Structure 1
């Protein structure tokens, strides 16, 4: 019978104590948020995706995406592109000691990425995907991982084949989202495809899709036999999910959800970290979406979101959240 305990995740020569990965999400998993999730127990960290062509042409937007902190080690940089030569060159460029792994995005479903032949478009061309992976692997001396989807659409479900291509070309691990590109994030993730990928390769497999709590991790572990567990949308405004999962596997008990006081304190700390990292103008504006995620399901959250969208300074944000806390607790 399979053990229910969470084992460390070993990728190449990197050992990740907790096999819980924070999924790379554009506009979400920047350095401040990764640090908050790391504190709560996330094991494998990954930057937002970085364009290899953007790096190649010196796009100034690329550098902030690559900011790291020693506290989040081990961290991977996720790059995307479909030109093997450029991908190899840029992988070598970022192999500068900041990152312990490189992840190749072959799962992004966004039209502007797919229409350029990048992201999940590579699911349609396993031969080219293999060349991209080999170019990156040959260019660096750190483990290379690959993130894929179930397939491109219902007519092309080829995750096991793609995983084999990745392994044959030197990938050290594979992450699988149990939806096709056509599904985006709708419907239910198909965990059986994760099991099929696990059966098809010898390298570690990280399951992704519809993990919302510790019991989902347990169920994915039992149904797929995968080695790691990647959490994406459920981590938005919810860095505690990693701590809750670890607590469940250590004690067999579920942790109570954070109180509104704890949520407000986390939002204010997150806001200050964003300002320290991006400046007040950008930091406060980017916190608006995070506040919406943090407060989802709380009383009066819709009205709060409306007000937050007009905040300009940290003082505005702090006053608004403290007033919301007092008003909401006054209803109890």
Structure 2
């Protein structure tokens, strides 16, 4: 059965979502994930305060492209009125949905009463969500965590109350705020939310899905409507196509060849330059090289070289050299 967000957004059967990740989920990265089968993607999270005061960095994050659809814009903030106003600004850009971040555990976000901080004040979270829902005609979704810490895992209540004020889907990261990204994600509470007879909206699971086997096992075991993938897609957008192939056939696809790794890395780089300009595009791509070529033995020399280069021609030349020198190797 197809998974729907609201009346119009049909994601097909068991969608794979690309998680919004700060400094990662920009249009160049989303492009290569879309090419490899991501069913729904989100922008990096955008500060509601930044949007309202026209901060250039926040406004640039509103860039979305037709080929990315369906795409959601994710916003965060600690002030209800600012969140309402930022939802109105996002609506004008015409995404497919607006997502609220109640999951970010980072200190500078939590200190402002935003992100996972709201898990300590469910009444405020509900009021904020209601304000965003009422500010837009678009479907509103939420991404959050199990709770603030082990003593306050309140996701069951959160899911019910947010559904009551009109959200159309909920993505749950299987950790508390206190865990940050450490330890293992616990999906048992996600399953409890899904089994709650009151819950009618799609529930997506997030956290630690890093292989086709895990995706298939957790799909069965935890009964979610879809899976959101974050860190495992960095430098490895093929994870989406590999999981889909496995669901369809029960067989594992061989991993990408060196030529494919080089090709997708090059596409990512060129899209980055196209979107941000040559200097920034090259600089911001440096964080991705190690991930694209992870697991290749004796690669350190090239990794060091790639992050040092600032000329596009030299980077492309080095990528071709990598292709030539390593292409006979099975990775």
Distance 1:209 1:26 in 2: 16
Question: What residue in structure 2 maps to residue 327 of structure 1?
Answer: 325
* Deviation readout 1:278-332 (Å, 9 max, x if unpaired): 1110111111111111111112233322111211021121122222333334778
- The alpha-carbon deviation at position 87 of structure 1 amounts to 0.7
- The alpha-carbon deviation at position 86 of structure 1 amounts to 1.2
Distance 1:169 1:276 in 2: 40
Question: What residue in structure 1 maps to residue 11 of structure 2?
Answer: 16
* Deviation readout 1:81-137 (Å, 9 max, x if unpaired): 121111111101211252010000000011100111100001111100001100000
Structure 1's 257 and 90: CA in aligned 2 closer, same or farther, altered over 3 A? same
Structure 1's 323 and 141: CA in aligned 2 closer, same or farther, altered over 3 A? same
SS at match of 1:86: helix
SS at match of 1:174: strand
- The alpha-carbon deviation at position 198 of structure 1 amounts to 1.1
Question: What residue in structure 1 maps to residue 53 of structure 2?
Answer: 57
Residue pair 2:19, 2:230 contacting (<8 A) in 1 also? yes
Taking the TM superposition and a 5 Å limit, the aligned residue runs for 1:109-188 are 109-188=105-184
Question: What residue in structure 1 maps to residue 103 of structure 2?
Answer: 107
1:315 matched to 2:313: yes
Residue pair 1:152, 1:182 contacting (<8 A) in 2 also? yes
1:48 matched to 2:44: yes
Residue pair 2:269, 2:285 contacting (<8 A) in 1 also? yes
SS at match of 1:77: strand
Residue pair 2:259, 2:327 contacting (<8 A) in 1 also? no
Which of 75, 84, 87 aligns to 2:83? It is 87
Which of 191, 207, 221 aligns to 1:195? It is 191
Residue pair 2:71, 2:97 contacting (<8 A) in 1 also? yes
SS at match of 1:180: coil
SS at match of 2:88: helix
SS at match of 2:308: coil
- Is the deviation greater in 302-311 or in 164-173? 302-311
Residue pair 1:299, 1:328 contacting (<8 A) in 2 also? no
Residue pair 2:257, 2:327 contacting (<8 A) in 1 also? no
Question: What residue in structure 1 maps to residue 229 of structure 2?
Answer: 231
Distance 2:101 2:60 in 1: 18
SS at match of 1:53: helix
Deviating beyond 6 angstroms after TM superposition, the runs of 4 or more aligned structure 1 residues are: none
SS at match of 1:289: coil
Question: What residue in structure 1 maps to residue 218 of structure 2?
Answer: 220
Q: TM-score, normalised by structure 2?
A: 0.95
Residue pair 1:82, 1:128 contacting (<8 A) in 2 also? no
How many residue pairs match? The answer is 326
Q: TM-score, normalised by structure 1?
A: 0.95
Unpaired runs of 5+ residues, structure 2, are none
Residue pair 1:107, 1:148 contacting (<8 A) in 2 also? yes
1:250 matched to 2:244: no
Distance 1:260 1:330 in 2: 8
* Deviation readout 1:225-271 (Å, 9 max, x if unpaired): 11111000000001111111111111121100001111011111111
